Structure 1
Amino acid sequence: MAHKHVVLGGGTGFIGKRLCKTLLADGYEVTTISRMPAVKSMTWHDLEKDGLPEGTTAVVNIAGQNVLDPTRRWTPGFKQNVWNSRINTTAACVRAIERATVRPRVLVSISGVSHYAMGMKPNTEDSKTIEFDFMSRLCHEWEKAANLSDNSICRSVKIRSGVVIGRNGGMIQSLILPFWLGLGGPIGDGKHDLPWIHIDDLCNLIKFAIEKPEVTGVLNGVAPELITNYDFTKAFASALVRPAIFPLPEFVLNLIFGNERAVLLTKGAKVIPKRTMEVGFQYQYPDIRSACKNVARLF
């Protein structure tokens, strides 16, 4: 079997830990880049100074300060941190690839779906993206930072991820307690769209992007089923066998998170994984009921 060595930016977070497991189980060697030195790990400073480890076949960057950390206030400093932890790490990965004597075969970078227009029309990978608020500007600059030079022989894949559904972090971790206590409910009227993906599907999609030489450009990292916040609430409550009758007013989330980041929970666009399906990716959890059942089973 050919040598497979992935250098992974952001390997210690919610998605990173899961991705490490997925890759290691499939015979990959994984070196994570994080802020603190550890075994099988390098720091961002090491990457700048020494470049990529010898034999790197793929670089994946999913680094980024957790935006929806309720313990952190939405201050200018925290906003800057959210921005830099994504843009600067992605740019550092690109610089390391461009400098490498033997270039890795692929760079897989992640961003979000916040720069798709909201409304009745579904967005595919070909839809125009727009900059209209902090999150949309962030996604735009994040993807720009992942651009490799024109003469680069390294393939580039940009995955635009929806809300990630998984047991150990993200939205589910914030919601599990109120839902478990029977205090869950939709956000506002629950009618806004919620682009989402199960964490296993996202990790498998990243692995798929590494392994398929014909895959390049943008892939929407969302499940094929279009749902609203209300649909999610119903599926999650039903998987936990709990009622979900207490709507959470939008203003409460705006108070907890601040308006600019609460939009991740209170607003959403319709996003379809058109190219993701065209290139042949198979979902384990294509619908929200199966995804919620899987997550609820772990309690």
Structure 2
Amino acid sequence: MRVLVGGGTGFVGGALTQLLRSQGHEVTHVSRHPGPDRISWDELSRSGLPPCDAVVNLAGENVLNPLRRWDDAFRRVVVASRVETTKTLAKAIAEAERPPRAWVLVTGVGYYRPSPTAEYTEESPGGDFDFFSRLVSAWEAAAKIPGDSTRQAVVRSGVVCHALETEGVRGVLNGVSPASSGTSNADFARELGSALGRPALLPLPGWAVRGVFGAERAVMLLEGQRVAPKRTLESGYCFVYPDLPSALQNIVS
């Protein structure tokens, strides 16, 4: 397939590009900067969608950038960097003479405030919506374009590639492994220590995280979520590393 990827030069985008090309697909990036196999966002707006079979949008300002204060100005940047790029792609797709058959939107900062007993699935996310979930709703509304399929890096790029290549995949796919639900920071530190063959690392104090990222963003790092990839599994996707120990062993090796 010919795949157009918005934000393809970022962390997840690099992994997705490598995976797609290893599968024999052609990849073109939509980027702010010129370069080989790229078009700019301005060019996309002026000239419309280039010939392609699938479109993926990964564009967006890094929410956890510790160099940016979490204020109203940065919030607006976070929203605009995702919503405006999605609108640009959605408009180009809607106006294309031959629209792509697949359109995947990666909502990388979708976040639901956790509660002790709630479990979140693609069908029933639950929880109290906050700023991030309102942002997710905006992306999802912009992504409702007809197609055969509507994810950090290796796991999500695998799910995106699966959505592009599998006929009939629609809706929201959670990009978390089946055994990740309920994993605490202490569990993560213990498993990482085991993978490294060293004693478990001391957990980072909450006050330090809040001092670097601010109280609102720190919630994403300090409070867990119970997320279940029910629809992802039902669509036939097989996680290469279904649990934390196997994933960490692969990374450290």
Structure 2 length normalisation: TM-score? 0.92
Partner Cα separation in structure 1 for residue 13 and residue 239 of structure 2: 19
Cα deviation, 1:89-146, whole Å, max 9, x if unaligned, reads 1121111110000010010111144136533132111114455322222222222222
**261-270 or 94-103, which moves further after superposition?**
261-270
CA contact (8 A) 1:122 1:272 kept: yes
Q: 1:214 aligns with which of 168, 175, 178?
A: 168
User: What letter corresponds to residue 164 of structure 2 in structure 1?
Assistant: I
- Structure 1 residues 1-299: aligned runs within 5 Å: 4-54=1-51, 56-111=52-107, 112-115=109-112, 117-129=114-126, 132-148=129-145, 152=146, 154-157=147-150, 161=151, 164=152, 199-225=153-179, 226=181, 227-297=183-253
CA contact (8 A) 1:106 1:210 kept: yes
**Secondary structure of 2:30's match?**
strand
Give the CA deviation at 1:265.
Answer: 0.3
CA contact (8 A) 1:58 1:210 kept: yes
Partner Cα separation in structure 2 for residue 139 and residue 237 of structure 1: 34
Runs of 4 or more, structure 1, over 6 Å off, are: none
CA contact (8 A) 1:59 1:104 kept: yes
Q: Which has the higher strand share?
A: 1
CA contact (8 A) 1:65 1:81 kept: yes
Alignment length (residue pairs): 250
CA contact (8 A) 2:149 2:163 kept: no
User: What letter corresponds to residue 51 of structure 1 in structure 2?
Assistant: G
Give the CA deviation at 1:235.
Answer: 1.2
Distance 1:229 1:113, change over 3 A: farther
Partner Cα separation in structure 1 for residue 82 and residue 43 of structure 2: 18
CA contact (8 A) 2:176 2:228 kept: yes
1:196 alignment partner in structure 2: none
Q: What runs of 5+ residues in structure 2 fail to find an aligned partner?
A: none
Cα deviation, 1:165-214, whole Å, max 9, x if unaligned, reads xxxxxxxxxxxxxxxxxxxxxxxxxxxxxxxxxx3222121111001111
Cα deviation, 1:205-238, whole Å, max 9, x if unaligned, reads 1111001111111111110002222221211122
User: What letter corresponds to residue 288 of structure 1 in structure 2?
Assistant: L
Structure 1 length normalisation: TM-score? 0.79
Give the CA deviation at 1:243.
Answer: 2.5
Distance 1:131 1:140, change over 3 A: farther
Partner Cα separation in structure 2 for residue 288 and residue 10 of structure 1: 27
Partner Cα separation in structure 1 for residue 74 and residue 125 of structure 2: 29
**Secondary structure of 2:172's match?**
strand
